[in-house]
Structure 1
């Protein structure tokens, strides 16, 4: 009898947890996880051959065409595109199951999920749970971009939003203004050739950027010259889905790791700094004046 009482509960939760599906239910074939997308599919003019995401972004009026692949990373591939507002950096995330970096639990620690079924699905990494994690990861980058942009930090301008219902329609893509030009795209600091004076300026700007993040209550989580761009003697911070708040029990460890990563990656440019001293300097600067906020346009 107890088993019969549990059946309706199991059926309802089946929406969230694939493991609870009745064994006699016809299972739909699983869609192959989307990994790195072929440029030919993104640039195809024939709508029948065109990638579904690109077709959707075009229908929404965000882009008109994809121009070239810029760089492929462990989570996403960046492309140069064009849209109504000019050159666009189009970041297309792979499905979680197709990423080389999959364990994002350390960054999500401390987050409160009120829906118990959704929480169980995400923790169990069921098919629906993975879909929710994917959407949350992409939307987090948009949300963080908008907050940092409005706060006056040196980050790329987000091109969809600021309301979540707007940028949720673009998952798994994030669109932002291209730093540089289509002919000369801003390099990462890790790839830039700097004079000693430029290296010192880039270091000071990078430490200030980390302090500005901390002032807002954030640790970047992956702060190094690999996630800093260099254009017209100015540092731009990128890559924000893993941004972590003080509610995360690992916050101070991630902040210290950011300081160490920054110090280590800047040695290539002749900057010799100590991670502990850098962390103290970041914390000191975080108590100082904030950047001038950007005005919210109607």
Structure 2
């Protein structure tokens, strides 16, 4: 009888699902730009579709890791996937274009921020392998960024976030210091009203890129626990422009595409100890650690 009961209990217990094997690592990144005008504000749909198709394996990889890190999957599987790509030295091969470097830094940002959620469950061996890979990617990001000539815009800030996140999750001060350098440079670029001049040059996408530039800056500030009056102005300008784009439209001479700023204010407000921004729709961005409504372990949160 006892054997029968034990057998029935075993049969009725939920089966543990094995992790799906990680997809083959992408060493090289094939990506292309897709804007067709001098302001980089008009998208060529054919080029955009080509870029999406070529980068889909990397986006899918990051998307699944984000799910595993945010309660929509198995943390052990997310760690196994990261460890697999780390062992294969993914994304350290040939970059086909500047767009490929963009993809690499966005993905590094997402992997480091999602790993921050997964790290408590990682084995010592996984931590060593994954974090060494992150550092190699951060070093490659810094080398490419420092070698670039020309203006510094939102891409520089996203490089800063990627490297800062690696510093936060590995505890290596070299990367935290480099992220602070990027942050300080951005603060020095900001106009008195909080606008970012390189983003205001983007014609009909000026508002879009003001928001896109402010997003990594508030995240860097939260990770490094920085408070800066210039960042306050950047956020205020971004929020006001999102609520009423007419001022930016008048400034640029081009009607602006509407874009929300809740990603910016969600991170900024909880670091500054302010009430959460209104809105009930869940915010999900794998490049920023998955759920933005749940503080990342690397953030310094003043608002409990």
| Fold match by TM threshold 0.5 | no
Q: TM-score if structure 2 supplies the norm length?
A: 0.26
Name the structure with the higher helix share.
2
Q: TM-score if structure 1 supplies the norm length?
A: 0.27
